[in-house]
């Protein structure tokens, strides 16, 4: 057999598919069922290690959102997929396309349920947009191609379960056709589709726009800005918005919608027509009785997400590519004189620097806002300070703000790492509470190992401040203790990530003056652990 070419395997064919679709960076925390695929990866396939599956998926989510195309994830059978479910739910809610390969025991003895056999279909619930368990090994490459299309079209994680022995099996002569070779989507919306929206807006006395994560892009921002300026109407950001759908320093930006029905009705009571573009109608927490809007207010939604269109309680839902549809709509509505938006005050330095026990979070955020470049991506996971952050650090560029759409903690550290790796030309700052950071602190190791120059700004109050406030609101005493013994800076250094601390305004200013100018070019992460007042007023209102 000397000199003869080795027959192509399923792994060879799968690697060709990965190259074809640009899936050449694999985010993983490996297990034994994945060794056959991962060992001796070719030089053009990059491997990125994370120390927990939540970090694996979080990094891939940041990468996919920054590059606006699917990222590749490898998970380890039941344990790996189970650990990653929360992060997969977040990826789905954040519209992050992921191709997820999940390892499985060798199919030749699956019937005996050997050690590491996973009952994987359905383990992630309804969060994957598509799941496939190929019937024979030769279907694996085609299933991966199909998963790429499903992730891209469905804007979420698509799963392919691959038994470990499949990789060494001989490939089929031709890849089974389980996905189209090319997907063509309409470049422009149907003009007739937006006529109903135009009529609804034209017939209104005081319309308004509501934008969300689905509008976070250069074309979408430009189109929505043109529409808002033609209508002269205020633009609100959806509550719990994971990404900015409009420039938040624009004169027509009216701020963030409240998170409960009574305050939502009050905020929108001056408008007789609402168009949600790239946003659901409407995300709320917690539940209160009553309608979402005042009686008589007409509501419509324009989205490219079928599920969002179908579940929205609206008069009219239009499912179309967002930017082209908004451009058509702007051409059809009648122009109006602009009315001043009820926008919050412009960001300014906070005069009250200290609370009873240290720096106020709002002062820390104002100090950051005064220094960062408008092109900075801010990744947020600080629930108790989020309203202050929105008020003081507006998103001024597309992809300028990123948060976990699902609401679960453990997103910011890995997502910021993956985002910086995918977009090394954008400065990235993750503003994280100390409690939030502990859910995926392992991601700091990956940031250091792979040269992701993120500034992780940790607001340390040594407790779950938001949970304490919610318990207080119920008139009860929380049973959980604080965790003042935990040092985030020490944990960071132990994971290979440089760290600094700040407890005074002078120390904070010195650290930010040194760190912020380096953010665009730095290849080493830095954690800045800032002690903040544990008794400061919590800005969050559920």
Domain with residue 450: its CATH number is 3.40.50.970
Count of domains forming the chain? 3
Residue 346 belongs to some domain of the structure: no
pLDDT above 90 (res 271)? yes
Band of residue 1 on the pLDDT scale cut at 50, 70, 90: very low
CA 213 to chain centre: 9
Residue 182 belongs to some domain of the structure: no
Cβ neighbours for 84, distance < 8 A, ≥ 6 positions apart = 53, 54, 56, 57, 73, 75, 124
The last residue of a domain, from among 299, 332, 365: 332
The last residue of a domain, from among 101, 133, 168: 168
Residue 325 belongs to some domain of the structure: yes
Task: Say if residue 503 is in the same domain as residue 363.
Answer: yes
Task: Say if residue 141 is in the same domain as residue 253.
Answer: no
pLDDT tens per residue across span 234-267: 999 999 889 999 999 999 999 999 988 999 999 9
Per-residue pLDDT at 341? 57
Per-residue pLDDT at 183? 47
pLDDT tens per residue across span 199-218: 999 999 999 999 999 999 99
pLDDT above 50 (res 542)? no
Question: For 262-316, what is the HEC assignment?
Answer: HHHHHHHCCCCEEEEECCCCCCCCCCCCCCCCCCCCEEEEEECCHHHHHHCCCCE
| Mean pLDDT of all residues in 44-67 | 96
State the alpha helices, DSSP H only, in 360-504. 361-369, 386-392, 412-422, 434-437, 443-449, 465-473, 488-494
Per-residue pLDDT at 220? 97
Radius of gyration in angstroms for the set of CA atoms belonging to the chain, rounded to a whole number? 24
Per-residue pLDDT at 177? 44
Task: Say if residue 504 is in the same domain as residue 433.
Answer: yes
Q: What pTM does this model have?
A: 0.88
Cβ neighbours for 322, distance < 8 A, ≥ 6 positions apart = 214, 215, 220, 223, 277, 278, 302, 303, 304
Task: Say if residue 213 is in the same domain as residue 253.
Answer: yes
Residue 144 belongs to some domain of the structure: yes
pLDDT tens per residue across span 397-440: 999 999 998 888 899 999 999 999 999 999 999 999 998 999 99
| Mean pLDDT of all residues in 369-385 | 94
pLDDT tens per residue across span 67-85: 999 999 999 999 999 999 9
Task: Say if residue 301 is in the same domain as residue 241.
Answer: yes
Per-residue pLDDT at 193? 81
Per-residue pLDDT at 537? 47
Task: Say if residue 386 is in the same domain as residue 270.
Answer: no
pLDDT above 90 (res 87)? yes
pLDDT above 90 (res 340)? no
Residue 461 belongs to some domain of the structure: yes
Task: Say if residue 362 is in the same domain as residue 493.
Answer: yes
The last residue of a domain, from among 153, 168, 183: 168
Tell me the residue range of the domain where 147 lies. 10-168
Residue 176 belongs to some domain of the structure: no
pLDDT above 90 (res 383)? no
pLDDT above 90 (res 481)? no
| Mean pLDDT of all residues in 102-123 | 89
Per-residue pLDDT at 534? 66
pLDDT tens per residue across span 277-312: 999 898 887 778 888 999 999 999 999 888 888 888
Task: Say if residue 106 is in the same domain as residue 243.
Answer: no
């Amino acid at each position: 057999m000397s000199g003869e070419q080795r027959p192509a395997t399923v792994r060879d064919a799968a690697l060709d598919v990965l190259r074809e679709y640009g899936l050449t960076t694999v985010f993983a925390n490996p297990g034994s069922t994945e060794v056959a695929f991962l060992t001796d990866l070719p030089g053009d396939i990059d491997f990125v290690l994370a120390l927990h599956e939540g970090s694996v998926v979080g990094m891939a989510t940041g990468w996919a959102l920054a590059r606006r195309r699917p990222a590749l994830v490898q998970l380890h059978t039941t344990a790996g997929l189970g650990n990653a479910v929360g992060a997969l739910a977040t990826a789905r809610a954040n519209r992050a396309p992921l191709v997820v390969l999940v390892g499985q025991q060798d199919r030749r003895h699956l019937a005996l349920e050997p050690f590491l056999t996973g009952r994987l279909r359905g383990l992630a619930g309804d969060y994957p947009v598509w799941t496939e368990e190929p019937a024979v090994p030769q279907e694996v490459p085609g299933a991966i191609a199909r998963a790429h299309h499903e992730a891209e079209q469905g804007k979420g994680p698509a799963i392919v379960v691959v038994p470990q022995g499949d990789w060494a099996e001989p490939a089929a002569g031709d890849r089974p056709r389980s996905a189209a070779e090319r997907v063509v989507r309409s470049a422009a919306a149907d003009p007739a589709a937006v006529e109903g929206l135009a009529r609804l807006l034209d017939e209104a006395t005081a319309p308004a726009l509501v934008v969300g994560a689905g509008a976070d892009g250069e074309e979408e921002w430009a189109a929505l800005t043109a529409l808002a300026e033609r209508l002269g109407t205020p633009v609100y950001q959806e509550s719990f918005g994971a990404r900015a759908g409009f420039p938040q320093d624009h004169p027509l930006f009216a701020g963030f919608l409240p998170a409960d029905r009574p305050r939502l009705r009050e905020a929108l009571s001056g408008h007789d027509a609402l168009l949600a573009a790239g946003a659901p109608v409407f995300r709320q927490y917690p539940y209160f009785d009553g309608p979402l809007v005042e009686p008589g207010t007409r509501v419509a939604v324009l989205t490219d997400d079928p599920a969002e269109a179908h579940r929205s309680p609206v008069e009219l839902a239009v499912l179309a590519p967002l930017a082209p549809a908004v451009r058509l709509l702007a051409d059809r509505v009648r122009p109006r004189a602009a009315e001043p938006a009820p926008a919050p005050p412009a960001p300014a330095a906070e005069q009250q620097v200290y609370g009873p026990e240290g720096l106020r979070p709002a002062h820390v955020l104002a100090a950051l806002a005064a220094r960062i470049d408008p092109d900075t991506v801010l990744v947020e996971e600080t629930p108790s300070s989020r309203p202050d952050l929105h008020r003081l650090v507006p998103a001024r560029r597309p992809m300028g703000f990123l948060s976990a759409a699902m609401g679960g903690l453990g997103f910011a550290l890995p997502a910021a790492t993956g985002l910086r790796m995918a977009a090394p030309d954008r400065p990235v700052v993750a503003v994280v509470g100390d409690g939030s950071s502990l859910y995926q602190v392992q991601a700091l190791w990956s940031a250091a190992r792979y040269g992701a120059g993120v500034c992780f700004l940790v607001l340390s109050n040594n407790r779950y401040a938001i949970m304490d406030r919610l318990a207080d609101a119920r008139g009860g005493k929380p049973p959980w203790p604080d965790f003042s013994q935990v040092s985030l800076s020490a944990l960071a250094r132990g994971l290979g990530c440089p760290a600094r601390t700040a407890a005074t305004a002078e120390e904070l200013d010195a650290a930010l003056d040194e760190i912020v100018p380096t953010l665009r070019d730095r290849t080493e992460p830095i954690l800045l652990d800032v002690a903040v007042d544990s008794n400061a007023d919590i800005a969050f209102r559920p």
